[in-house]
Chains A and B, each alone.
Chain A
Amino acid sequence: MILSLRNVRKSYGATRALDDLSLEVDRGEVVAVLGPNGAGKTTAIEIAIGLRGADGGDVRLFGRSPRDPNTRLRLGVTPQESGFPDALSVEEIVRFAIAHYPHPAEPRAILTAFGLDALAQRRAGALSGGELRRLAVALAFAGNPDLVVLDEPTTGLDVESRRRLWDIVRDYAVDRSVLLTTHYLEEAQALATRVVVVDSGRVLFDGSTCELRRRFGARRLSYAGKDGHVAVTIDDTDEYVRNLVRDGVAFSNLEIVPPTLEDAFLTVTGGRK
């Protein structure tokens, strides 16, 4: 097991941030943590990477405490946005991150993979928002770690950079693991082998995106009937079509739209996004 949080509890004063939350990441998995703002995603991630301690429960990163710096030799994390020392160049920052790890990536390879080649000598203070984001994500991979943790990795990225990052994550996760939080369900759909939906500090769903849609998403069915357009949202569309045929209802242009991840997600969280 790469990462396991078991029955983790965490309160800030009177506010309960995590309430018996359990979460696991295995080798080769890309796990996306989804949830509305304030659901406890960030707290769960901060506890997983050793930035915060839990009030109760068990936290294991590579079988050890993430609070121990040596445990983090196999962990890569993105800094929060726009947090770099202004006067340092992109390459200096990448090399700084690399210096912490026993088997790091090649600095050049990292710069190339994240489209930072041309910016290598640029000072962090002169980077655009998207460039800063790419640098931040690049640092998580710089140490060639066994677990990469990405907090909202593609917020503020253009479509091309986003797709490029997705490719990198997919390639990376073949023999290693990625834990990410995201607000884009499209991103979870594209990347995650498993999604964990969190709200009010609890896990509401843990499984594949297909399973999430199957269990919580209704299908939409529509057709042109004798008296005009008919549209319904139902779980069992097969049964509905059989009934139409059996009852001899005249219909044309039958369309069945599979449930979207968004619908399923909203059903799980009770409409909160």
Chain B
Amino acid sequence: MNALLLTRTHARIALLDLFRSPGYVVPTVVFPTLFYALFDLQYARTDASVASATTLAFMAFAVIGVCLYQFGVGIAAERGRPWERYLRTLPASIAVRFGARIVTALVFGLLAAGCVAAFSRAATPIDLDSMQWLRAGIYVVLGGIPFVLMGVTIGYWVSPRAAVPVATAANLLLAYAGGLWLPPQYLPKFVAHLSPYLPTRQFADLLWSVSHGSSAAHALSGLAIYTAIFATIAAAGYRRDERRRYA
């Protein structure tokens, strides 16, 4: 069977299942926008450059949340389930099953980030042109990759019970210290020192390069390093679970 078609089939079935759970869809897609409205809208309303900086940061925050929850919590909860076991007996490779997970997370990540962007366009004087929005869209996907792998890392190394608190803590701490909520210059001093090395900050820098017109190379290379690190830990976690459950 064609692996791409099969990946689509697996992603479709996962998306159908999730889209029919309003309790999952609404918080996942709407919460980042709600946070944005509560925290940053008051500053963004009066200034186009503040609007673009905060909007882009919250688009990153939206994607990171989906990656950590969709993968981290999702994998931790599902890895022992009978349905996972059944999927393993089908003629579908690991690549198909992982590919489908990535597609599923991307769909929700883009929806959540798109929701932030749409709200900002309606409620703030943000003025990015269509090419800039397109670049932001591409960067949202690229920058999401290390966080997908971070989610997989949580999913395979943390127990189902601990996955929600661990993913939440990672999400909130990294978002804060990475300057996604507050501009980095307002962070406490020692956090501000640490901030440039965090993947969340690099994700934000990547997106800010769209409005600043600055180079994305530095942020991209930082994210590439995190991608390599989390890919290694995630793969080790996957093999560990594989040995335990299916050796």
Q: How far is the CA of A170 from the CA of B131 in the complex (A)?
A: 64
Give complex CA distance A51, B247 in Å. Answer: 8
Taking the complex as formed, is B130 at the interface, i.e. its CB lies under 8 A from any CB of chain A?
A: no
Partner of A77, one of B9, B86, B246: B86
Residue on B nearest A85 in the bound complex, by CB: B17
CA–CA, A112 and B69, complex, Å:
39
Task: Provide the residues of chain B in CB contact with A75, threshold 8 Å.
Answer: 89, 91
Known: A85-B13, A85-B17, A88-B13. A69 touches B83 (CB 8 A): no
Q: Which residues of B sit under 8 angstroms from A81, Cβ to Cβ?
A: 82
The verdict on B161 contacting chain A, using a C-beta distance below 8 Å, is no
> Which of A71, A80, A102 contacts B86, CB < 8 Å?
A80
B185 within 8 A of A: no
Task: Give the distance in Å from the alpha carbon of A72 to the alpha carbon of B88 in the complex.
Answer: 10
Binary A-proximity of B78-97 (CB < 8 A = 1, otherwise 0):
00011101101111110000
Q: Let me know if B89 and A100 touch, CB within 8 A.
A: no
A51 and B89 contacting across the interface, CB-CB below 8 Å: yes
Q: How far is the CB of B83 from chain A (nearest CB, A)?
A: 4
Query: Is B92 touching A80 in the complex (CB atoms < 8 A)?
Result: no
For residue B1, CB closer than 8 A to chain A, the reply is: yes
B85 CB contacts on chain A under 8 angstroms: 51, 79-80, 83
Report, as a range, how many residues of chain A touch the other chain.
20 to 34
Q: Flag B235-247 by CB within 8 Å of A: 1 or 0 each.
A: 0000000000011
Q: Which residue of B lies closest to A83 (CB)?
A: B82
Q: Which of A73-117 contact B (CB under 8 A)?
A: 73, 75, 77, 79-88, 92, 96-97, 99-102
B189 within 8 Å of A (CB atoms): no
Determine whether B214 belongs to the interface, using a CB cutoff of 8 Å to chain A: no
Asked whether, in the complex, the Cβ of A52 is within 8 Å of the Cβ of B91, the reply is no
A178 to chain B, nearest CB (A): 15
State whether A70 and B246 are in contact (beta carbons under 8 Å apart), knowing that A77-B86, A99-B9, A100-B1 are contacts in the complex.
Answer: no
Chain B residue nearest in CB terms to A12: B247
Number of interface residues of B (CB under 8 A): 24
Q: Give Cα A97 to B18, complex, Å.
A: 19
Contact B20 A83 (CB under 8 A): no
Q: Which residues in A have their C-beta under 8 angstroms from that of B5?
A: 99
In the bound complex, how far is the Cα of B9 from the Cα of A70, in angstroms? Answer: 17
Question: In whole Å, how far is A254's beta carbon from the nearest beta carbon of chain B?
Answer: 53
B90 touches A85 (CB 8 A): no
| Complex interface residues of chain A between 40 and 68 (CB less than 8 A to chain B) | 49-53
In contact, A100 and B90 (Cβ under 8 angstroms):
yes
Nearest Cβ on chain A to B243's Cβ, whole angstroms: 10
Write out the residue numbers on chain B whose beta carbons fall within 8 Å of the beta carbon of A82: 82
Q: Shortest CB–CB separation between residue B230 and chain A, in angstroms?
A: 26
Contact A51 B246 (CB under 8 A): yes
Q: Kindly report which residue of chain B lies nearest to residue A93, judged by CB atoms.
A: B13
Alpha-carbon gap, A73 to B1, bound state (A) = 9
A142, B231: Cα distance in complex, Å: 36
Q: Which of B44-100 contact A (CB under 8 A)?
A: 81-83, 85-86, 88-93
Which positions 1-24 of chain A face chain B at CB distance < 8 Å? none
24 contacts between A and B (CB under 8 A): A51-B246, A52-B246, A69-B90, A69-B92, A69-B93, A71-B91, A72-B90, A75-B89, A77-B89, A77-B90, A79-B86, A80-B85, A83-B81, A85-B13, A85-B17, A85-B83, A88-B17, A92-B16, A96-B13, A99-B5, A100-B1, A100-B9, A100-B91, A101-B1
* Top 6 closest pairs, chain A to chain B, by CB: A83-B82, A79-B86, A87-B20, A80-B82, A77-B89, A72-B91
A-side interface residues toward B, CB under 8 Å? 49-53, 69-73, 75, 77, 79-88, 92, 96-97, 99-102, 139
User: Given contacts A69-B92, A77-B89, A99-B5, could you give 4 more A-B pairs where the C-beta distance is less than 8 Å?
Assistant: A69-B93, A81-B82, A92-B16, A139-B86
